[in-house]
Homo-oligomer: A and B are copies of this chain.
Amino acid sequence: MATQPRVIEVKQNVLAANDRAADELRADLKRRGSFLLNLMSSPGSGKTTTLGRTIDALKDTLDIAVMEADIDSDVDARAMLEHGICAVQLHTGGMCHLDAQMTRQGLEALRETIREESTMRGADFRAVDGDASDDVELIFLENVGNLVCPAEFDTGACANVASVSVPGGDDKPLKYPLMFQVADVILVNKIDVLPYFDFSLETFEEYVRMRNPNAPVIPICAKTGEGMDAWYDWLVEHVKEWRS
Protein backbone atom coordinates (compact mmCIF):
# COMPACT_ATOMS: atom_id res chain seq x y z
CA MET A 1 0.00 0.00 0.00
CA ALA A 2 1.24 3.50 -0.85
CA THR A 3 2.45 5.75 1.92
CA GLN A 4 1.97 8.96 -0.04
CA PRO A 5 -1.57 9.70 -1.10
CA ARG A 6 -2.28 10.60 -4.69
CA VAL A 7 -3.51 14.19 -4.91
CA ILE A 8 -6.07 15.14 -7.54
CA GLU A 9 -6.81 18.78 -8.39
CA VAL A 10 -10.55 18.40 -8.91
CA LYS A 11 -11.51 21.99 -9.39
CA GLN A 12 -9.70 22.50 -12.67
CA ASN A 13 -12.32 21.16 -15.06
CA VAL A 14 -15.04 23.12 -13.34
CA LEU A 15 -13.05 26.30 -13.56
CA ALA A 16 -12.05 25.68 -17.18
CA ALA A 17 -15.73 25.41 -18.16
CA ASN A 18 -16.49 28.57 -16.20
CA ASP A 19 -13.58 30.41 -17.81
CA ARG A 20 -14.97 29.65 -21.27
CA ALA A 21 -18.42 30.90 -20.27
CA ALA A 22 -16.85 34.02 -18.76
CA ASP A 23 -14.88 34.79 -21.94
CA GLU A 24 -18.05 34.46 -24.02
CA LEU A 25 -19.92 36.78 -21.70
CA ARG A 26 -17.12 39.34 -21.84
CA ALA A 27 -17.09 39.23 -25.65
CA ASP A 28 -20.85 39.81 -25.59
CA LEU A 29 -20.44 42.78 -23.24
CA LYS A 30 -17.76 44.22 -25.53
CA ARG A 31 -20.14 44.00 -28.51
CA ARG A 32 -22.84 45.74 -26.50
CA GLY A 33 -20.47 48.38 -25.17
CA SER A 34 -21.40 47.58 -21.56
CA PHE A 35 -18.70 47.72 -18.92
CA LEU A 36 -19.51 45.16 -16.21
CA LEU A 37 -17.61 45.69 -12.97
CA ASN A 38 -17.42 42.93 -10.37
CA LEU A 39 -17.22 44.27 -6.81
CA MET A 40 -15.88 41.84 -4.25
CA SER A 41 -15.28 42.30 -0.52
CA SER A 42 -15.87 40.86 2.89
CA PRO A 43 -19.18 41.78 4.54
CA GLY A 44 -19.16 45.13 6.28
CA SER A 45 -16.50 46.87 4.24
CA GLY A 46 -18.96 49.48 3.02
CA LYS A 47 -19.42 48.27 -0.55
CA THR A 48 -23.06 49.36 -0.73
CA THR A 49 -22.32 52.87 0.59
CA THR A 50 -19.45 53.18 -1.89
CA LEU A 51 -21.75 52.11 -4.70
CA GLY A 52 -24.52 54.54 -3.69
CA ARG A 53 -22.18 57.51 -3.60
CA THR A 54 -20.57 56.48 -6.90
CA ILE A 55 -23.94 56.27 -8.61
CA ASP A 56 -24.97 59.71 -7.34
CA ALA A 57 -21.72 61.16 -8.64
CA LEU A 58 -21.75 59.53 -12.07
CA LYS A 59 -25.35 58.86 -13.07
CA ASP A 60 -25.60 62.08 -15.08
CA THR A 61 -22.41 61.18 -16.94
CA LEU A 62 -23.04 57.48 -17.54
CA ASP A 63 -26.00 55.14 -17.94
CA ILE A 64 -25.67 52.93 -14.85
CA ALA A 65 -27.43 49.80 -13.60
CA VAL A 66 -26.73 47.46 -10.71
CA MET A 67 -26.97 43.73 -9.98
CA GLU A 68 -26.82 42.92 -6.30
CA ALA A 69 -25.93 39.36 -5.38
CA ASP A 70 -26.91 38.07 -2.00
CA ILE A 71 -27.58 34.71 -0.45
CA ASP A 72 -31.09 35.62 0.52
CA SER A 73 -32.13 39.23 1.17
CA ASP A 74 -32.95 42.10 -1.19
CA VAL A 75 -31.93 45.03 1.03
CA ASP A 76 -29.04 46.04 -1.21
CA ALA A 77 -31.10 46.21 -4.39
CA ARG A 78 -33.74 48.25 -2.55
CA ALA A 79 -31.03 50.67 -1.44
CA MET A 80 -29.86 51.01 -5.06
CA LEU A 81 -33.36 51.77 -6.37
CA GLU A 82 -33.39 54.81 -4.09
CA HIS A 83 -30.56 56.22 -6.16
CA GLY A 84 -32.89 56.29 -9.15
CA ILE A 85 -31.22 53.63 -11.26
CA CYS A 86 -32.31 50.19 -12.39
CA ALA A 87 -31.27 47.43 -9.99
CA VAL A 88 -32.01 43.72 -9.70
CA GLN A 89 -31.30 41.31 -6.89
CA LEU A 90 -29.64 37.99 -7.62
CA HIS A 91 -30.30 35.28 -5.06
CA THR A 92 -27.59 32.65 -4.84
CA GLY A 93 -29.70 30.62 -2.39
CA GLY A 94 -26.92 29.66 -0.02
CA MET A 95 -24.09 29.71 -2.55
CA CYS A 96 -21.03 31.70 -1.66
CA HIS A 97 -20.11 33.07 -5.07
CA LEU A 98 -21.35 33.95 -8.54
CA ASP A 99 -20.08 32.25 -11.68
CA ALA A 100 -20.33 33.31 -15.31
CA GLN A 101 -23.57 31.44 -15.93
CA MET A 102 -25.29 33.08 -12.97
CA THR A 103 -23.99 36.47 -14.05
CA ARG A 104 -25.41 35.92 -17.53
CA GLN A 105 -28.81 35.06 -16.04
CA GLY A 106 -28.62 38.23 -13.98
CA LEU A 107 -27.76 40.37 -17.01
CA GLU A 108 -30.66 38.94 -18.99
CA ALA A 109 -33.07 39.74 -16.16
CA LEU A 110 -31.57 43.20 -15.81
CA ARG A 111 -32.05 43.93 -19.49
CA GLU A 112 -35.63 42.71 -19.35
CA THR A 113 -36.31 44.93 -16.33
CA ILE A 114 -34.82 47.96 -18.04
CA ARG A 115 -36.89 47.24 -21.15
CA GLU A 116 -40.10 46.99 -19.11
CA GLU A 117 -39.44 50.18 -17.20
CA SER A 118 -38.52 51.93 -20.41
CA THR A 119 -41.85 50.89 -21.95
CA MET A 120 -43.78 52.00 -18.87
CA ARG A 121 -42.11 55.39 -18.95
CA GLY A 122 -42.72 55.86 -22.67
CA ALA A 123 -39.25 54.81 -23.74
CA ASP A 124 -37.36 57.70 -22.23
CA PHE A 125 -34.94 55.08 -20.94
CA ARG A 126 -32.44 54.06 -23.60
CA ALA A 127 -33.31 50.91 -25.46
CA VAL A 128 -31.23 47.91 -24.46
CA ASP A 129 -32.02 45.43 -27.14
CA GLY A 130 -31.05 45.44 -30.77
CA ASP A 131 -28.43 48.10 -31.35
CA ALA A 132 -25.55 47.22 -29.08
CA SER A 133 -24.42 50.79 -28.71
CA ASP A 134 -27.66 51.60 -26.88
CA ASP A 135 -26.94 49.25 -23.98
CA VAL A 136 -26.21 50.39 -20.42
CA GLU A 137 -22.70 51.80 -20.23
CA LEU A 138 -21.76 50.73 -16.70
CA ILE A 139 -23.17 47.77 -14.78
CA PHE A 140 -22.04 47.14 -11.24
CA LEU A 141 -22.17 43.57 -10.00
CA GLU A 142 -22.01 43.46 -6.22
CA ASN A 143 -20.79 39.92 -5.55
CA VAL A 144 -21.52 37.87 -2.43
CA GLY A 145 -19.61 39.26 0.58
CA ASN A 146 -16.77 36.75 0.82
CA LEU A 147 -13.06 37.09 0.08
CA VAL A 148 -12.46 33.44 -0.87
CA CYS A 149 -14.83 31.81 -3.35
CA PRO A 150 -15.80 34.83 -5.50
CA ALA A 151 -12.10 35.22 -6.40
CA GLU A 152 -12.05 31.65 -7.79
CA PHE A 153 -14.79 32.20 -10.33
CA ASP A 154 -14.48 34.55 -13.27
CA THR A 155 -17.92 36.15 -13.53
CA GLY A 156 -17.33 37.39 -17.06
CA ALA A 157 -16.98 40.96 -15.77
CA CYS A 158 -14.71 43.40 -17.61
CA ALA A 159 -12.83 44.26 -14.41
CA ASN A 160 -12.68 43.25 -10.75
CA VAL A 161 -12.69 45.52 -7.72
CA ALA A 162 -11.49 44.25 -4.35
CA SER A 163 -12.85 46.43 -1.60
CA VAL A 164 -11.57 46.28 1.98
CA SER A 165 -11.83 48.63 4.92
CA VAL A 166 -9.45 49.98 7.55
CA PRO A 167 -11.10 48.19 10.52
CA GLY A 168 -10.64 44.86 8.67
CA GLY A 169 -6.85 45.09 9.04
CA ASP A 170 -3.93 45.60 6.64
CA ASP A 171 -3.08 41.88 6.46
CA LYS A 172 -5.97 40.92 4.16
CA PRO A 173 -3.70 40.47 1.06
CA LEU A 174 -1.71 37.86 3.00
CA LYS A 175 -4.82 35.95 4.06
CA TYR A 176 -6.72 36.15 0.77
CA PRO A 177 -3.98 36.32 -1.88
CA LEU A 178 -6.12 35.26 -4.85
CA MET A 179 -8.62 38.06 -4.26
CA PHE A 180 -5.85 40.63 -4.58
CA GLN A 181 -4.26 38.83 -7.51
CA VAL A 182 -7.44 38.98 -9.63
CA ALA A 183 -8.27 42.59 -8.70
CA ASP A 184 -7.85 45.35 -11.30
CA VAL A 185 -8.32 48.06 -8.69
CA ILE A 186 -8.34 47.94 -4.90
CA LEU A 187 -10.40 50.25 -2.70
CA VAL A 188 -9.45 50.82 0.94
CA ASN A 189 -12.57 52.29 2.54
CA LYS A 190 -13.14 54.04 5.90
CA ILE A 191 -9.84 55.92 5.90
CA ASP A 192 -11.52 58.44 8.25
CA VAL A 193 -10.86 55.97 11.10
CA LEU A 194 -7.17 55.39 10.23
CA PRO A 195 -6.03 57.16 13.44
CA TYR A 196 -7.93 54.64 15.58
CA PHE A 197 -6.78 51.42 13.95
CA ASP A 198 -3.49 49.66 13.53
CA PHE A 199 -3.70 49.84 9.74
CA SER A 200 -0.75 51.01 7.65
CA LEU A 201 -1.52 51.94 4.05
CA GLU A 202 2.15 51.37 3.20
CA THR A 203 2.16 47.87 4.66
CA PHE A 204 -1.13 47.08 2.94
CA GLU A 205 0.18 48.18 -0.45
CA GLU A 206 3.41 46.23 0.13
CA TYR A 207 1.35 43.06 0.73
CA VAL A 208 -0.77 43.77 -2.35
CA ARG A 209 2.35 44.13 -4.51
CA MET A 210 3.46 40.59 -3.58
CA ARG A 211 0.47 39.35 -5.59
CA ASN A 212 -0.34 42.20 -7.91
CA PRO A 213 2.26 44.56 -9.36
CA ASN A 214 -0.13 46.90 -11.15
CA ALA A 215 -3.59 47.35 -9.67
CA PRO A 216 -3.98 50.85 -8.22
CA VAL A 217 -4.77 51.02 -4.51
CA ILE A 218 -7.23 53.86 -3.88
CA PRO A 219 -7.82 54.96 -0.27
CA ILE A 220 -11.36 56.33 0.12
CA CYS A 221 -14.00 57.27 2.61
CA ALA A 222 -17.39 56.55 1.04
CA LYS A 223 -19.11 58.33 3.94
CA THR A 224 -17.29 61.68 3.63
CA GLY A 225 -16.34 61.44 -0.05
CA GLU A 226 -12.60 61.72 0.62
CA GLY A 227 -10.52 60.15 -2.14
CA MET A 228 -13.58 59.25 -4.23
CA ASP A 229 -12.53 61.41 -7.21
CA ALA A 230 -9.59 59.10 -7.96
CA TRP A 231 -12.04 56.19 -8.00
CA TYR A 232 -14.49 58.03 -10.29
CA ASP A 233 -11.61 58.87 -12.65
CA TRP A 234 -10.56 55.21 -12.79
CA LEU A 235 -14.14 54.21 -13.54
CA VAL A 236 -14.88 56.77 -16.25
CA GLU A 237 -11.58 56.10 -17.95
CA HIS A 238 -12.13 52.33 -17.99
CA VAL A 239 -15.72 52.60 -19.24
CA LYS A 240 -14.51 54.89 -22.02
CA GLU A 241 -11.66 52.57 -22.96
CA TRP A 242 -14.00 49.52 -22.99
CA ARG A 243 -16.48 51.26 -25.28
CA SER A 244 -13.88 52.61 -27.69
Is the pair B84, A1 in contact by a Cβ cutoff of 8 Å?
yes
The answer to whether A213 has its CB under 8 Å from any CB of chain B is no
Chain B residue numbers with a CB within 8 Å of A7 are 74, 77, 88-91
Interface centre among A1, A81, A87, A106 (most CB of B within 10 A): A1
Asked whether, in the complex, the Cβ of A87 is within 8 Å of the Cβ of B5, the reply is: yes
Distance between A102 CB and nearest chain B CB, rounded to angstroms: 4
Task: Tell whether, in the assembled complex, residue A8 and residue B148 are in contact, meaning their CB atoms are under 8 Å apart.
Answer: no
Q: Which residues of B contact A103 (CB under 8 A)?
A: 10
Binding-face segment, A27-35, A92-100, A222-230: A92-100
Q: How many residues of A contact B (CB 8 A)?
A: 49
Residue of B nearest to A177 (CB): B94
The proximity string for A residues 89-120 relative to B, scoring 1 for CB distances below 8 Å and 0 otherwise, is 11111111011011101100100010001000
Contact A89 B148 (CB under 8 A): no
Decide if A5 touches B94 in the complex (CB within 8 Å). Answer: no
- Given known A-B contacts A13-B105, A14-B99, A149 and B5 have beta carbons under 8 A apart: no
A161 CB-CB contact with B under 8 Å:
no
B93 touches A8 (CB 8 A): no
The answer to whether the Cβ of A237 comes within 8 Å of any Cβ in the partner chain is no
Q: Can you name the residue of chain B whose Cβ is closest to the Cβ of A1? A: B84
Query: How far is the CB of A208 from the nearest CB of chain B, in Å?
Result: 18
B89 touches A149 (CB 8 A): no
A175 at the interface (CB under 8 A from B): no
A86: chain B residues within 8 A (beta carbon):
1-2
A185 at the interface (CB under 8 A from B): no
Indicate if A151 sits at the interface (CB-CB under 8 A): yes
| A109 contact set on B, CB distance < 8 A | 6, 8
State whether the Cβ of A3 lies closer than 8 Å to any Cβ in chain B. yes
Q: Which B residues are CB-close (under 8 A) to A117?
A: 1-2
- Whether A5 and B80, one on each chain, are in contact in the complex, defined by CB atoms closer than 8 angstroms, is yes
- Contacts A1-B117, A81-B1, A94-B151; A89 near B6 (Cβ below 8 A): yes
CB contact under 8 A between A11 and B91, given known A1-B84, A5-B77, A5-B80: yes
Chain B residue at smallest Cβ distance from A70? B7
* Any B CB within 8 A of the CB of A78: yes
Residues of B within 8 A of A6 (CB): 88-89, 109, 113
Can you give 8 A-B contacts (C-beta < 8 A)?
A: A2-B113, A4-B78, A5-B87, A8-B88, A8-B105, A8-B109, A94-B151, A96-B96
